[in-house]
Amino acid sequence: MKDDEGRAGQAWLWAPVIFSALGVLVSGYLSVKRFTGGNLACTRWADCDIVNNSVYAKFYGVPVAFIGLAGYLVLMGLAMAALQAGGAVQRRLLALGFFLTLGGFGFSVYLTYLELYVIEAICVWCVASAVLITLLTIVGGINLWRTVHEPLDSSATPSPLRS
């Protein structure tokens, strides 16, 4: 029974690695297309190029696709480190990943609002990224909740700064 719980726990820890890797693929594709130009592969009902070439496709001069790629790479690195770590270190990594995904989720909500109500066009790739960051946020919250019994500040050696 305990072995089944360990395997289930590992599966929950692998989920962010998989979702962030998919995010790297999506945002990597958008980044390559942004860098090289050309039309995005898109469905008949979506207007990917309208969204990707809009003034909102850059944030302070940086293409949103690059921001997404960097974000997903950081989240994948944190998720892979959390797989290797244990105890308080793992919980800190999970907490950091969760709070970063919350920021990414908020940014994604803002971008989705722009797509729907300002640009009035949908990008399938952007929707895929929004779904992935939403899944990462949910799984990150579950992983953090699963380790709630482990305090964030527990360490083997006391800090000399504490009195």
What is the block-wise mean pLDDT of the chain (163 residues), using blocks of 10 residues?
58 92 96 85 82 89 94 96 89 94 96 94 93 96 82 55 53
Per-residue HEC secondary structure of the chain comes to: CHHHHHHHHHHHHHHHHHHHHHHHHHHHHHHHHHHHCCCCCCCCCCCHHHHHCCHHHEECCEEHHHHHHHHHHHHHHHHHHHHHCCHHHHHHHHHHHHHHHHHHHHHHHHHHHHHHHHHCCCCHHHHHHHHHHHHHHHHHHHHHHHCCCCCCCCCCCCCCCCC
User: Residue 8: what pLDDT?
Assistant: 61
pTM, to two decimals: 0.83
| pLDDT at 1 (0 to 100) | 43
Predicted pLDDT of residue 161:
59
CATH number at 2-146:
1.20.1440.130
